[in-house]
Amino acid sequence: MNFVFLIFIPIIAALFVPLLYKTIKRIHTGWFVLIVPIVLFAIYTTLLPQTMKGESIVSTLQWIPSMHMNFVSYIDGLSLLFSLLITGIGSLVVLYSIFYLSDKKEQLGHFYVYLLLFMSAMLGVVQSDNVISLYLFWELTSISSFLLIAYWYTNDRSRFGALKSMMITVFGGLMMLGGFAILGIAADTFSIREMIANASTVTSHPLFTMAAVLILLGAFTKSAQFPFYIWLPDAMEAPTPVSAYLHSATMVKAGLYLVARFTPLFASSSTWIWLVMGVGIFTLFWGSFFAVKQTDLKAILAFSTVSQLGLIMSLLGASALTYHSNEAMFAVASFAAIFHLLNHATFKGSLFMVAGIVDLQTGTRDIRKLGGLMSIMPLTFTVAAIGSFSMAGLPPFNGFLSKEMFLDAMLAVRSFELFQFDTWGILFPIIAWIASVFTFIYSMYFVFHTFGKKGDVEALPKAPKEAPTGMLISPIILATLVVVIFFIPNVFGKWLIKPAVLALQPNLYDTPQQIDITIAAWHGFDSMALWMTIGVVAVGTLLYLSMNSWKKIYDAQPERLTLNNGYDALLNFTESGMNKISRSYMTGIIRSYFMYMFAAIAIMTLIAVYVKDAFAFDPNSFAPVTIYAILNGIILVLAISFVLLAKSRMAAFIALGASGYSVALFFVMFKAPDLALTQLVIETVSVALFLLAFQRLPELKNHGETKKNKVANAIIAIGVGFTVMLVALASQSQKLLPSISEYYKETVETLAAGGNIVNVILVDYRGFDTLFEIAVLSIAAIGVYTMIKLRLKGEKKADENE
Amino acid sequence: MMTFIWVSLILILLSMLGLMYRVYKGPSIPDRLIALDAIGILIISATALLAIIFDTKFFIEVILLIAIMAFIGTVSFSKFIEKGEIIERDRNR
């Protein structure tokens, strides 16, 4: 079977959604959509035995083979894990959305089209082997995410959030494209597998570090790492199924996928390791710290997502250490990363769904208004508690296992010796521990402030009651998984995680069976991680109980210095600042534009002549100068000066006529009778035309010219004149080839049967030019005629209106 | 004989320079216009002398054309100065 076609199934299904939505009104459109992810999930499950053996499946769809751009679906453990997450959680989210979105009030056709579009894009991202098609799908996730966030497009906040996420993720996407281009040039292929196979040639490329940074920019923006996380909290204006699907389980993990996928290529770079680990651990702390401050349920979850993504990111960074050291503990990092990625998808998905249920059943998501829902919504509370405890890293939930492994891996970082980790490595477990404390606090805050304590249930916008069964199915399935994974982690490890780890650590293992990591809930008392967890719980509980007394520290950061403010200021600057800059030179006055043009001509030509050392002066190439030519030259210069100095227009016209006549005399002197004839006629006609227009022209006056302006004009005019003179002298002095006019002279009578060489050139040798100059004249004539006639018509119409 | 023609040509050009002074100085528009007309006539003479110097007959048309054009130009300027326009509209249309 050609698995590459599976990627496109959701898109094709999306084509039929509007049709179903319009024709079948009785059944919620979601039920039809639900079939797609379930079928895909089932198909991808059948591939598990192959990836468990360490095999991979490749299938290709030719797109632009001549440019080496093809849709290559490469399914190994890592991409299969992601594909299962996308289709599996996709099914649950579609099921949840059927009960969440009303088919009466909402435009379901749009919603499911966008959702299916996103599903295709996401499958494409995780399965693509070709970086160009990977980029294509990557941008498609950005676009469909944009559409989904702004699903309630009449809401201002939704549009703002959608635009923000679009700007940030597309910025990252474009940076990533640059990184891919560099990699494509360095490795001479667009295939990720071949790049990794040729890793040694790629790493020696001078732009290698640049490619690493660019690709990381793409991954960090998509995965909401510091400081690009700011779009994620604003994306919470989307419908809750979207938040659960895109902004916790799938899209935000695309960046993690990218980092994991490219780890074998970039692991040799210390920049990569430091960036991934440093940014990840800092995001972990930052996200967990600010999650406590939030008052909106979904905002807490958004910051928590940011923080957990940072956790996984730092683990991915730590997994790159195995390329430099044989320490067995670093291998745990990659396992922990994949494991926590899976765990996070389960508990965060369920928590978002819980938040959606609370929102729908009580009419508010504001945690300050909520409370005391435990007895009213017992099932929802149970799911919320399971998710939150798992998020906090408590047994018996899966978050405990991955948190322990995370702490183990961070403790192990201390023993890494390269890249100054011996100095700074100690920071990683410390920050990780502090972040875990805050994670514990906001997890408890989330569940107990919503469901626990005594709340004023009467004051809620809606009288709360337990959610309908259908809405609870998906979160309960996810919560069950959370518990099940805790009790049988090694089954999941064997089926899903070890094959995925293989993609990260091809240097260590050949098959998933070689990975000898077993997950154990109990390591014994000598395990440092256990004591750290106990510390987290103890300190976390204390801090949670005394929350009101230390919450003031959040007010210490002034509003002006927040990252959101920085983003707004940047946007403001690009809009009004750039406007100001363009307005400063786009004056709308032709005079200024001419100044720019002529100054540019003079400066650029002079620089070119100077740089190329092109100026030459050869007096031998000049013809002898006659006295009457000098005199005529003086007359011409005088006539032109009078044009410039004339006080009235009429005087300027007359001086212009005189200069035209003296040019005609030059033509006579240089033996060009035809030119002299034409010049005289044209000169007279144009003077007559000036006189025709004269009547309508205003008096010569100052149009805002200042003295400064005039000086600048004079400088530019002198500059241009000087430049043209230099160029003319230089070109006259270095004629490299003889003229071809000898040929005309010899053949004008024998070939063309003419005596006037100028006319024969015009109509015979070079007749084409003449033809089109005739065309120019006719266009000008028609243009003049049209302008006069149209103007008259316009005037008449204006009269009629009066 | 050639020397005489050369001297005449230079004299003509010098008188054109003198007329340029009149074009510049004015003081009235008709003064300038007369100067321009005279420059045209002087160009006729210069062209004729150059035709002799170059020993060619191709400049005869030029001489005729300058005569016509200088006349047309002067007439249109004069008409403009007198009536304010060159081509009058046909009032009986």
Rounded average pLDDT over A381-404: 88
The share of chain A scoring above pLDDT 90, in percent, equals 32
Which pair of structure tokens corresponds to residue A594? 């001419």
**Domains held by chain A: number:** 2
Query: How does pLDDT run across B38-68, given as a tens digit for each residue?
Result: 988 898 898 898 888 888 888 888 888 888 8
Nearest Cβ partner of A671 from B9, B54, B65? B54
Q: Chain A closest CA to B5's CA: distance in Å?
A: 12
Structural domain contains residue A83:
yes
User: Is the pLDDT confidence value at A587 over 70?
Assistant: yes
Last residue of a domain, one of A205, A231, A259: A205
Structural domain contains residue A779:
yes
CA A97 to CA A91: how far, in whole Å? 10
Strands A69-75 and A57-64: antiparallel
Most confident of A550-559, A637-646, A703-712: A637-646
Q: Chain A closest CA to B89's CA: distance in Å?
A: 13
Which pair of structure tokens corresponds to residue A315? 């683990």
Q: Of A381-390, A408-417, A424-433, where does mean pLDDT reach its minimum? A: A408-417
Strand, coil or helix: A28: coil
Which pair of structure tokens corresponds to residue A523? 């390591």
The model's confidence at residue A795, banded by pLDDT at 50, 70 and 90, is low
Contact status of B45 with chain A (Cβ, < 8 Å): no
Which pair of structure tokens corresponds to residue A269? 């770079």
User: Is the pLDDT confidence value at A210 over 50?
Assistant: yes
Strand, coil or helix: A745: helix
Nearest Cβ partner of B13 from A628, A651, A695? A628
Contact status of A720 with chain B (Cβ, < 8 Å): no
Last residue of a domain, one of A205, A221, A244: A205
**Cβ contact, residue pair A684, B69, below 8 Å:** yes
CB of A29 closer than 8 Å to CB of A142: no
Better-predicted residue by pLDDT, A260 or A324: A260
Contact status of A673 with chain B (Cβ, < 8 Å): yes
Better-predicted residue by pLDDT, A526 or B6: B6
B interface test, pick of A635, A668, A690, A757 with most B CB neighbours within 10 Å: A668
CA A583 to CA A594: how far, in whole Å? 17
Nearest Cβ partner of B86 from A651, A683, A692? A692
User: Is the pLDDT confidence value at B93 over 60?
Assistant: no
CB of A439 closer than 8 Å to CB of A307: yes
The share of chain B scoring above pLDDT 90, in percent, equals 2
User: Is the pLDDT confidence value at A800 over 50?
Assistant: no
Rounded average pLDDT over A630-638: 89
User: Is the pLDDT confidence value at A718 over 80?
Assistant: yes
Cα–Cα nearest to A186, from A275, A258, A265? A265
> What pLDDT is stored for residue A556 in this prediction?
73
Strand, coil or helix: A59: strand
- The pLDDT mean for chain A works out to 86
Q: Chain B closest CA to A694's CA: distance in Å?
A: 9
> What pLDDT is stored for residue A653 in this prediction?
82
Structural domain contains residue A171:
yes
Query: How does pLDDT run across A66-119, given as a tens digit for each residue?
Result: 888 889 899 988 999 999 999 999 999 999 999 888 877 888 888 999 999 999
As separate numbers, helices (DSSP H) first and strands (DSSP E) second, chain B gives: 3, 0
Residues of A in contact with B85 (CB under 8 A): 692, 695
Q: What is the ipTM of this complex?
A: 0.82
Which pair of structure tokens corresponds to residue A575? 């809009």
Which pair of structure tokens corresponds to residue A302? 């958004």
Residues 2-41 of B with CB under 8 A from A: 9-10, 13-14, 16-17, 20, 23-24, 26, 29, 32-33, 35-36, 39-40
> What pLDDT is stored for residue A802 in this prediction?
40
The chain A residue lying nearest B27, using CA atoms, is A651
User: Is the pLDDT confidence value at A801 over 70?
Assistant: no
Query: How does pLDDT run across A727-743, given as a tens digit for each residue?
Result: 988 888 887 788 888 88
Q: Chain B closest CA to A768's CA: distance in Å?
A: 26
Q: Chain B closest CA to A593's CA: distance in Å?
A: 31
The model's confidence at residue A793, banded by pLDDT at 50, 70 and 90, is low
Structural domain contains residue A371:
no
Structural domain contains residue A71:
yes
Q: Of A591-595, A711-715, A791-795, where does mean pLDDT reach its minimum? A: A791-795
Which pair of structure tokens corresponds to residue A126? 């995780």
Structural domain contains residue A790:
yes
Q: Chain B closest CA to A664's CA: distance in Å?
A: 9
Q: Find the domain containing A40 and state its range.
A: 1-205
Q: Quote the crossing angle between the two packed helices A398-413 and A528-545, to the nearest 10°.
A: 110
Structural domain contains residue A591:
no
Q: Which residues pair with A296 in a beta bridge?
A: A366
The model's confidence at residue A173, banded by pLDDT at 50, 70 and 90, is very high
Rounded average pLDDT over A8-25: 90
> What pLDDT is stored for residue A310 in this prediction?
93
Structural domain contains residue A422:
no
Instruction: Say if residue A72 is exposed, middle or buried (CB neighbours under 10 Å; 0-12, 13-18, 19+).
Output: buried
Neighbours of A754 (CB within 10 A): 15
User: Is the pLDDT confidence value at A794 over 60?
Assistant: no
Rounded average pLDDT over A248-273: 89
Tell me which residue has tokens 């070689």.
A514
Better-predicted residue by pLDDT, A797 or A316: A316
CA A652 to CA A742: how far, in whole Å? 42
Q: In three state form, how does the secondary structure of A258-292 look?
A: HHHHHHHHHCCCHHHHHHHHHHHHHHHHHHHHHHC
Last residue of a domain, one of A205, A234, A261: A205
Which pair of structure tokens corresponds to residue A438? 């805050």
> Long-range CB contacts (< 8 A, 24+ apart) of A779-782?
none
User: Is the pLDDT confidence value at A325 over 80?
Assistant: no
Contact status of A670 with chain B (Cβ, < 8 Å): no
Name the CA dihedral angle for A34, A464, A359, A471, rounded to a multiple of 10 degrees: -10
Cα–Cα nearest to A260, from A38, A426, A500, A46? A500
Cis peptide bond prior to A738, omega within 30° of 0: no
Rounded average pLDDT over A354-366: 87
**Cβ contact, residue pair A680, B59, below 8 Å:** no
Name the CA dihedral angle for A334, A340, A345, A346, rounded to a multiple of 10 degrees: 140
The share of chain A scoring above pLDDT 70, in percent, equals 94
